[in-house]
Amino acid sequence: MITRAVVVPQPPLLVPGIAAGARESTAELRAACVAAAGGLAEVASRWVAVGTGEDTVSVTPPGACGSFRGYGVDLGVRLSETPGAPAELPLSALITGWLREQAGAAEATVHTFPADTPAARAAKTAALLAERHPGHGLLVLGDGANRHGPRSPGGEHDRAPGFDAAVAEALGSADTAALLTLDADFCTELGAGGRFPWQVLASLAEGGTWTAELLYSAAPFGVGYHVAVWTRA
């Protein structure tokens, strides 16, 4: 049974070497992510992660290792303490590997999905993860809307702030219904890539009793970033 889940965003700027001049402005976000990952490692040395960003569904096994070279820094990361051969890893796997190392967890398996994966698939994915990874900690990776303000990556959208405020409220109160009813088309319009991973979490938690803590919620670079910890009561 999965008893703890952690929600984090997946910007490359989490890594200090990549953040460079933005290191100070990302310090609070980075600290929240590392604290959440540390809390996950406290209850589970093995993790299963769910993220988005690739065009097809992929699974990155614990033996994989890669590098942030494509993001400007030749920093290697590993998904376990005993890595195999280097490979090109999706961003969700690179961030998972970096957080695993910060937290001292033993290993992680990463499932990556296209951002437009239908919500109807979330329940099946959640059941599969619970069946295949019993006793693991769940790491949920995904960003909010990328349309906060005129200088945001997706261009300003007047509904982006309200959307991420609602997501923050849901993540901070373990409101599974609110997450499960997020509209896929609207999330695509807002550039909110975390929608499907959040719905996997909600599907896994649905029907149970969970406590939730929101550690961070802001849009420092025009993108909504949320960090939360859910623990099964």
Q: Say what the pLDDT of residue 34 is.
A: 98
CB atoms within 10 A of CB 173: 15
Which residues does 14 contact at the CB level (< 8 Å), separation at least 6?
26, 29, 30, 33, 95, 98
Mean pLDDT of 184-195: 98
Q: Say what the pLDDT of residue 53 is.
A: 85
Q: Say what the pLDDT of residue 22 is.
A: 74
- Is 192 a residue whose pLDDT tops 90? yes
Check: CB of residue 108 under 8 Å from CB of residue 62: yes
> What beta strand segments (E) does the chain contain?
4-8, 46-52, 58-60, 65-67, 76-78, 107-113, 137-141, 210-218, 225-232
Of residues 43, 48, 46, 35, the one with CA closest to residue 4: 43
- Is 84 a residue whose pLDDT tops 80? no
Mean pLDDT of 57-74: 93
Q: Say what the pLDDT of residue 70 is.
A: 93
Mean pLDDT of 113-141: 96
Mean pLDDT of 22-41: 93
Partnered with residue 112 across adjacent β-strands are 51, 58
6 or 85: which carries more pLDDT confidence?
6
Which residues does 13 contact at the CB level (< 8 Å), separation at least 6?
19, 22, 26, 221
Q: Say what the pLDDT of residue 20 is.
A: 75
Mean pLDDT of 90-111: 97
Of residues 74, 32, 19, 89, the one with CA closest to residue 218: 32
Q: Say what the pLDDT of residue 82 is.
A: 85
Interatomic CA distance for residues 142 and 130, integer angstroms: 20
- Is 21 a residue whose pLDDT tops 80? no
82 or 66: which carries more pLDDT confidence?
66
Q: Say what the pLDDT of residue 163 is.
A: 98
State pTM to two decimals: 0.96
